[in-house]
Structure 1
């Protein structure tokens, strides 16, 4: 009788997002026999988004808020492939990467984040800088910052998007320019909604209304950008607003390759997943974080959810790989702690209807962020 050997299974992870960072650590702590794990990422350094405003403002260095995926994978004993995903074929369980690299999987997990929906605004893909991908935005901001540092002309800086990302980045830019340069600048925030920070409570909104007014930041609410031109925006009331630096922090959309993936997706291109993070059309594919549309209920696109999804994502992937059928459902918390920075070493905390602010909140946030980063100091 000829003995049969069971072939190894392949687990592919696409993207170095917050959920995968946590999942990789969990999978390394409880390695699965006969499973080969590969992480595919177009970047070798992945940013921790919670520290991005602090990096822009000058409170952190680049290394303070970036995790080296090569070191993480080496520590975890998994293979790292530095490439860009071009296409996937779920019927063949195959991923097509650049340079004609083909990778096969038994189980796939996707955690690639999101990006501003620039295609919804004519000209937005040509003019201005989307705040995501973060790597490109940091490079574009630093280039502009360096080239304009000696300019004597008034610089018009415009941020489109009245959510947490738009406000935090605007205030970080203002702080950096006002405190480290001689650049003369005026700032404008354009918000399509009738209120800024619509997912936060009224106390938070009122605080930032006063803060923006006190620092001379122009606020335009309830107006949509309908066209982006070189150095000029056109709003839906046909008013025109000039800019020298333009950042897009509008509602999120998915990366284009996901809409061509053959997986079920929502109106914004995000992969539809069930309560176990499995694709609703292909149960051998998992997705978490911003790139996933959680079908049991709507979830905000925030790093808080992505981080907390990581442990359960790892557990359910492991359960499926060993052939068990009973996965654990994800039950998101109704309220979560939100910490928003104001440019300097000052921050606002809120949870549900609760609200407070001060330097001590920033120190608290700084401790949380640095503790998260320290957990990946694996050298």
Structure 2
């Protein structure tokens, strides 16, 4: 009998959670360690901020999903991994041992200095876009500000897809609460610089129509209470602000002395396990895939899902592993602009409109139903 620990209950572990009954039936035990009883789907987080979804609609009841299938759920975060002794240290004071470990501990959003830091290090009314559940607090705060002040100045730092989605949906959040949104997106060097001129132009046109300002050039240097300080010395006042400056993998692997890749994530090979410690697997944002660099996007975590679940079961049984094939890098892109519209890019074609949001909404809701049903 072997013990599997699933560290985190994110996208890449959903099929492993579904497979718990089969794993248990072969005499193994499964423990899932996660910081909360529900896991929030990042693809719908901005839409929840903007009022398109409720928190319940964008989250999986992972504790119930694990326990109803015969696994054990421990509500805690992991503070350290001892890969030689195969021990995890948890925030609740427990230490748990494993035979096979899978990391799906996700990523965090860095500050302007590149460090992850903590929420306690941010001024009031400033939020990182991860963890997603913090956006519930942000949504409620924007509604309060709209009622109290009327006009609400919001700054979003980050010119990538997350920044775009947060700016458009923060605008919706204030407007739907009866306020007058004044949203500024600090886009760094260039808005959506990795996604082509056509997609950028569509975004700029939508934001211009809605009165969302886009600032390109000077970068955010720091947030102080009620104001953003830019690298060129400019000072922008705000009532609420968001950090969306990309993602940094969970630091657990590096702190444990495990091999890591260019982004700092756990280095894994074709079977999604560590070359140094083959009993340690991983998926999602917390890994670096050695055969080929992968973008930190949910599509790869979803693609890793079945292979990771199969390989965890095989590792417990001592069976051969299955290689992960990432598929085409020309994956479908759908960015929620707010206002009931989305950006679309696929096959080199970029478009925008309400139909694109309807498509994104359909795909996201289908994903939620697929794994939440039967929880």
Q: Does 1:165 align with 2:162?
A: yes
Quick one: structure 1 residues 152 and 82, their matched pair in 2 at CA, closer, same or farther if it must change by over 3 Å? closer
Q: Which sections of structure 2, spanning at least 5 residues, go unmatched? A: none
- Classify the secondary structure of the residue corresponding to 2:149: coil
> 1:59-116 deviations in whole A, cap 9, x for unaligned?
2122111110122113322111111211110010000112321110011001011111
Q: Distance in 2 between matches of 1:138 and 1:323?
A: 43
Does the alignment pair 1:221 with 2:216? Answer: yes
Offset at residue 121 of structure 1 (A): 5.5
CA–CA distance in 1 between the matches of 2:183 and 2:73?
42
- Give the secondary-structure state (helix, strand or coil) at the position aligned to 1:73: helix
Q: Equivalent of 1:156, from 153, 157, 161?
A: 153
Query: Does structure 2 conserve the Cα–Cα contact (< 8 Å) formed by 1:157 and 1:187?
Result: yes
Return closer, same or farther for 1:224/1:336 CA change in 2, 3 Å cut-off: same
Aligned length: 369
Query: Per the alignment, in what secondary structure is the counterpart of residue 150 of structure 1?
Result: helix
| Structure 1 portions without partners, runs of 5+ | 1-7
Q: In the aligned structure 1, how far is the partner of 2:212 from the partner of 2:355?
A: 25
CA distance in 2, matches of 1:355, 1:228: 34
Asked whether the 8 Å contact 1:26–1:311 carries over to 2, the reply is no
Out of 258-267 and 203-212, give the one that drifted further: 258-267
Q: How does 1:336-355 map to 2 (within 5 A)?
A: 336-355=331-350
**What CA distance in whole angstroms lies between the structure 2 residues aligned with 1:191 and 1:25?**
40
Alpha-carbon shift at residue 233 of structure 1 (Å)? 2.0
Q: 1:236 aligns with which of 231, 238, 255?
A: 231
Say whether residues 1:288 and 2:283 are aligned partners.
yes
In structure 1, the residue matched to 2:180 is 184
Contact 1:275 1:294 in 2 (8 A): yes
8 Å CA contact retained: 2:20, 2:66: no
1:27: how far off? 4.8
Do structure 1's residue 367 and structure 2's residue 324 form an aligned pair?
A: no
Contact kept in structure 2, 1:201 and 1:352, CA below 8 Å: no
Counterpart pick for 1:130 among 128, 131, 141? 128
RMSD of aligned C-alpha atoms?
2.1
Q: C-alpha offsets along residues 261-297 of structure 1, whole Å, 9 cap, x if unaligned?
A: 2222245432121122112332211111011111222
Query: In 2, Cα distance between the equivalents of 1:95 and 1:227?
Result: 35
**In structure 2, how many angstroms separate the alpha carbons of the residues matched to 1:373 and 1:329?**
23
Query: How many Å separate the matches in 1 of 2:13 and 2:216?
Result: 36
Structure 2 match to 1:306: 301
Measured in 2, the distance between the counterparts of 1:219 and 1:43 equals 35
Aligned partners of 1:152 and 1:184 also within 8 Å: no
CA distance in 1, matches of 2:20, 2:195: 35
Using the TM superposition, give the Cα deviation of residue 150 of structure 1 relative to its aligned residue in structure 2, in angstroms: 2.2
**SS of corresponding position for 1:100:** coil
Instruction: Indicate conservation of the 8 Å contact 1:337/1:349, yes or no.
Output: yes
Displacement of 1:149 after TM fit?
Answer: 3.1
Q: Counterpart in 1 of 2:111?
A: 118
The answer for the alignment partner of 2:200 in structure 1 is: 205
TM-score (norm 2): 0.91
Q: Write out aligned runs for 1:46-195 (5 A).
A: 46-118=39-111, 120=113, 125-127=121-123, 128-139=126-137, 141-152=138-149, 154-178=151-175, 180-193=176-189, 195=190
Measure, in 2, the Cα distance between the counterparts of 1:356 and 1:185. 26
> What is the CA–CA distance in structure 1 between the aligned matches of 2:293 and 2:200, rounded to whole Å?
22
Q: Does 1:17 align with 2:13?
A: no
Contact 1:276/1:330, CA 8 A, preserved across alignment: no
Describe the shift of the 1:329–1:377 C-alpha distance in structure 2 as closer, same or farther (beyond 3 A): closer
Decide whether the 8 Å contact of 1:37 with 1:78 is kept in 2: yes
